[in-house]
Amino acid sequence: MAHPLRGKVACAGLATAGCGEAPGRNSMELMVEAVHGALADAAIPLSEVGGVFCATAVHAFPALSLAEHLGVHPKYSDGSNIGGSSFIAHALTAAMALDAGIIDVAVIAYGSNQRTAGGFRSISEPMPFEAVYKPRNPITAYALAASRYLHQFGATKEDLAEVAVAARKWAALNPEAFERDPLSVEDVVGARMISDPLGKLDCCLVTDGAAAIVLTRADRAKDGPRPPVYLLGAAMAHHHRMISAMPDLTVTAASDSGPRAFEMAGYGPGDMHTVQLYDAFTINTLLFLEDLGYCAKGEAKDFVKGGRISPGGDLAVNTNGGGLSCVHPGMYGLFVTIEAIRQIRAALGSDEGPREPGGWIEGARLSVGHGNGGVLSSQVTGVWGAAETL
Amino acid sequence: MSQFDGPGPEAAFHAHLAEGRFMIQRSASTGRHVFYPRVMEPCSGTADLEWVEASGLGTVYATTANRSRDGAYNIALVDLDEGPRMMARVEGIDAGDVTIGMRVRASVGEIDGTPAVIFHPEGA
C-alpha cells in the first residue's frame, strides 16, 4: 500500500536569489528575495502563506525573523536546524502540515551573504571534548572521514579529484554556476593542502545565495503556471553530532534515510533520472553514492571513474555543478532540492533558463535530492517526481 | 539523595584532567566503557557509570594534518583499548606522518594552557 504522504504535496514554485556574490545585502534580505521570487513563480499571493520553514547558520529564531520580515502570521512555523539538510526535513514536516490541513501554502527558505560578509560563520557551539584540539570544522571532520575511506578501501586523492572534475564539467554547462573554468585531476590533487587528504579544490565554494520553494497540496499545485513536481518520498536520519561520535566514518546515516525515502516513493535509486547530492567536500559524493544504493560500500571510487557521473555519463549527478562548482552559501540542502525539481520541470517543457546542450536532462521525470548536515551528521533524502510518476 | 548530585560528568572529567589523570567511565552493570563522559551509558540507558583510570593505550582510527602558513598540527580519532573513540592530537611525530592503525599512548598535556589528553606513538 502506498505511503499516505506519497505525492500528497507538490512544489508549485521556486527561486534562487543573489547566488555568487550579493554585496551589501544581508542574509534575511536575500532570503526574502528568494521567497518573493518563488511565490511569483507559483503565482500565489504572500497573503496565502500559512507555513514558514527556514534555517540559517546565523539566526537563533529564523522562522520568527522571516515571518516578521514577510508580514506573515503563520499557522505553523518550523526553524528546526539539523544543518544543511534542514530544508529537506522541512519539506517532510510541511507535507505533514499541508496534508493534515493545518496550512494550505508552505514556504521553505534559506539565505546567506557569507561570501561578501567575510566568510563562513556560524552560531554553532564548540564541540565538547573536541574543541580543545582546535579542529577546523567542518573541514577537519570531513578530512578525517576521507582519511578513513582512503585507508579502508585503497582509494586515492585522484579518486576524490574525479568528483570535483565531474562537478566542474556540469558547471561548464550551467551559466548560473560560479566556477566554470576547466579543471583537471592534476589541478585538484596539486591544489594547496588544507586538511589532509583534502585540498582547496576538494572543498565546496564559499558563495552568497538564497533559495525558496513553495509547497501546496497536490490538487492546488495542478492549477499553477508551472508543472507541479510532487514529493514522492522523504526521510531523515542522524546518528551523531560530533565526528568523534560517528559510529563508522565510511557509512553515513544516508544508508538509513535513503532506503526509507525510496520505499515511501515506490521507486528505487536506479529509477532516478537525476541524482543531486550534497557535495560539501569531494568525499561526500562517494559516500552518498554508496549509501543511497548506487554502488556497494567502498566501490564509489571505481564507480565515478571514466566520466560516469560527468555530462554524458551513465548517471546524472549534481547537474548544476554542485556545491563544489555551482553555489554553496553555507547550507546547501535547498539548492540540491531545487536542482532536483528544476531538472524535472525543464524536461516537462518549463522554461528554466539556458544551459549548454546536455545541461538539462532529457526525459527527467524522477530526481533524488539528498541533503547532509553538520559533520556527515544529519542525512535527509527527498524523492521528487512528475505527475506521471504518481 | 539523587544519584545525579554533585559535579556532572563533564566537570568531573576536567577536574581529573587538571590533576593529571585521564579518567573514563564504565558501567558497573554492563561493564562497558564510555567516552565522552555522560550521565547514562548511551543505548542501554544505565546510569551506574563509575570513573576508572584509562589504560591510555589506543589505535589511530582516522587522522588529518591541519595546515596553514603557521605550520601543521595533527588531529586524530583514537580508538581506546577500552572501546570508546575520542578526538585527540598525536604529537612527537610530524602531523602528516601519523598513520591509521598506529598504536599510541596517552599522557595529560596542555594545549594553549588548557589540560588535554595528548597521544604519542607507542615506544616513541
What DSSP string describes A211-272? Answer: EEEEEEEHHHHTTSSS--EEEEEEEEEE--SSGGG-S-TT--THHHHHHHHHHHHT--GGG-
- Mark the ranges of chain A whose per-residue pLDDT is less than 70: none
Q: Are residues A82 and A145 in the same domain?
A: no
Nearest to A168 by CA among A157, A186, A188, A182: A182
Is the Cβ of B10 closer than 8 Å to some Cβ of chain A? yes
CA distance B113 to chain A (A): 10
Segments of B2-122 assigned E as strands: 23-27, 33-34, 49-53, 57-68, 71-80, 85-90, 103-111, 114-121
d(CA B73, CA A152): 23
Between chains, do A132 and B63 touch, taking CB under 8 Å as contact?
no
Residue with cell 579544490: A201
Residue ranges making up the domain that contains A53: 9-119+207-231
A136: in domain: no
Running along chain B, 124 residues long, what does each successive block of 10 average in pLDDT? 79 97 97 97 94 98 96 98 98 98 98 97 86
A22 part of a folded domain:
yes
pLDDT of residue B47: 92
Query: Which residue do the cell numbers 515506490 mark?
Result: A266
Q: Chain B partners of A249 at a C-beta cutoff of 8 Å?
A: 61-62, 77
| Contact in structure between A242 and A127 (CB atoms under 8 Å) | yes
Is A251 found in the same domain as A273?
Answer: yes
Q: Among B75, B86, B94, pick the best mutation site for testing chain A contact (most A Cβ within 10 A).
A: B75
Burial class, A330, CB count within 10 angstroms (exposed 0-12 / middle 13-18 / buried 19+): buried
For residues A154 and A296, membership in a common domain is answered with: yes
Query: What cell was used for A162?
Result: 574525479
A-facing residues of B in 101-120 (CB < 8 A) are 101, 111, 114, 116
Contact A129 B66 (CB under 8 A): no
For residue A244, which residues of chain B lie inside 8 Å, CB to CB? Answer: 36, 77, 85-87
Is the domain of A222 the same as that of A331? no
Q: What pLDDT shows up at residue A119? A: 78
Task: Please indicate, yes or no, whether residues A95 and A111 belong to a single structural domain of this protein.
Answer: yes
Q: Hey, which residues 40-59 in chain B have their CB within 8 Å of chain A?
A: none
Per-residue confidence (pLDDT) for residue B6, from 0 to 100: 87
The residue of chain B nearest to residue A149, with distances taken between CA atoms, is B62
Closest-CA distance, B3 to chain A, in angstroms, reads 23
Query: Fold for domain B57-121?
Result: OB fold (Dihydrolipoamide Acetyltransferase, E2P) (2.40.50)
Contacts by B28-34 with C-beta closer than 8 Å and gap 24+?
B32/B83, B33/B80, B33/B82, B33/B83, B33/B84, B34/B84
Are A273 and A198 in the same domain? yes
Residues 6 or more apart from A135 whose CB is under 8 A from it?
A127, A141, A243, B66, B75, B87
Residue A377 maps to a domain: yes
Q: Are residues A173 and A40 part of one domain?
A: no
Reading the block at residue A179, the C-alpha cell is: 566556477
Using a CB-CB cut-off of 8 Å, the residues of chain B touching A243 are 77, 87
pLDDT score for B107: 98
A328 shares its domain with A193: yes
Enclosing H/E stretch for A288 = helix A282-291
A245 touches B: beta carbon within 8 Å: yes
Here the cell at position B98 is 601519523
| Cβ pair B65:A195 closer than 8 A | yes
Interface test with A, best of B36, B69, B77, B79 (most A CBs within 10 A): B77
With beta carbons less than 8 A apart as the criterion, state whether A197 and A383 touch.
no
- Do A82 and A199 fall within a single domain? no
A250 in a structural domain: yes
Q: What is the helix (H) or strand (E) element at residue A342, kind and residue range?
A: helix A333-347
Taking the CA of residue B100 and the nearest CA in chain A, the distance in Å comes to 7
* Amino acid B5: pLDDT: 82
Q: What is the pLDDT of residue A118?
A: 84
How high is the pLDDT of residue A354?
97
Chain B neighbors of A144, CB-CB under 8 A: 62-64, 75-77
- Which CATH number characterizes residue A299's domain? 3.40.47.10
Pairing of strands A366-373, A274-277: parallel
Tell me whether residues A133 and B75 touch, CB distance under 8 A. yes
C-beta atoms of B87 and A244 within 8 A: yes
Which residue of chain B is at minimal alpha-carbon distance from A127? Answer: B87
- Does A130 lie at the interface with B, CB-CB under 8 angstroms? yes
Looking at residue A121, what is its pLDDT? 79
Q: How many domains does chain A have?
A: 2
Contacts of residue B116 in chain A, CB cutoff 8 Å?
Answer: 132-133
Q: Quick check: ipTM above 0.95?
A: yes
Are A179 and A105 in the same domain? no
Task: Give the C-alpha distances (Å, rounded to integers) separating A139 from A198, A230, A243.
Answer: 8, 34, 11
Do residue A275 and residue A371 come from a single domain? yes
State the pTM of this model.
0.97
Taking the CA of residue A199 and the nearest CA in chain B, the distance in Å comes to 10
Tell me the shortest Cα–Cα distance from A297 to chain B, in angstroms. Answer: 18
- The reply to whether A179 and A281 lie within a common domain is yes
Q: Within its chain, how far is the Cα of A371 from the centroid?
A: 5
- Which of B36, B65, B114 lies nearest to residue A196, judging by beta carbons? B65
Per-domain residue ranges of chain B:
9-53, 57-121
CA dist list (Å): A159 to A164, A202, A285, A335, B121? 10, 11, 11, 25, 29
pLDDT computed for residue B2 by the predictor: 58
Q: Is A155 a domain residue?
A: yes
Contact by Cβ (8 Å): A249, B62: yes
Q: Which of A115, A117, A97, A114 is nearest to A106 (CA)?
A: A97
> The C-alpha cell of A206 is what?
564559499
Alpha-carbon distance of A189 to A171, in angstroms, equals: 19
Using CA coordinates, name the residue in chain B closest to A152. B100
